[in-house]
Amino acid sequence: MSLPRAVLALLLRDLRLALRRRSEMLTPVLFLLMVATLFPLGLGPDRDLLVSIAPGVIWVISLLACMLSLSLMFYADLEDGTLDQLIISRWPLPVLALAKVGAHWLVSGLPVVLVAPVVAVAYGLSSETIGVMALSLLLGTPILSSIGAIGVSLSVGLRRGGMFLSLLVLPLYVPVIIFATAAVTASLEGFSPAASLYLLAAMLVLAVTTAPFAIAAGLRISVS
């Protein structure tokens, strides 16, 4: 089997396993919808207030929704022995790790990208700002999955790694939140969001090219 076919097989395997756990797949989307609904109920119907807080609220909820599914990335593979097979296989572990990150994003990140514009409409954002919001999520959520995968790779061997994972990845998520919300806020105020979006794109390229090597190193350390 060639390397591209091996990567595709691993990606399809993870997607099939996710489809068998449909309740876990829907958790990020349901979390986003429920928590986003609570803010207007708690703050009242003031449209100007809702519009001003919408970028930060939607992005923070998207971040937390992504974190809910991080534990699904490697823990089950460790329990059934799949992770050991990936480490000792003849294929480069960083490439296989990138396939795992891609599967996680397709399951947890992409649904958030598709649902968040609906939430943005409910908050009263304009169509142009919603487009910037969707683009920032499209660029930013793969970065969240990549950073989260590094944290999971370092904590997968710990018995109680949930708290360690949160403490490890949350500070690394801060730059993504800052630039993503800055892009949406700039569009909201009539300025160009290009600078923040370019920075997000640069961070995405950096994450895709470097995170797989960090994930592979973390898995070898945790499993050894």
**pTM, to two decimals:** 0.90
- pLDDT at position 10, please? 87
Selection from 34, 97, 28 nearest residue 64 by Cα:
28
- pLDDT at position 1, please? 65
- pLDDT at position 201, please? 96
Domain count, the chain: 1
pLDDT in tens, 128-180: 999 999 999 999 999 999 999 998 888 887 766 566 777 788 889 999 999 99
Residues of the chain with pLDDT under 70: 1, 23-24, 159-163
- pLDDT at position 211, please? 94
Residue 104 domain boundaries: 3-223
- pLDDT at position 161, please? 57
- pLDDT at position 159, please? 62
- pLDDT at position 56, please? 86
- pLDDT at position 24, please? 67
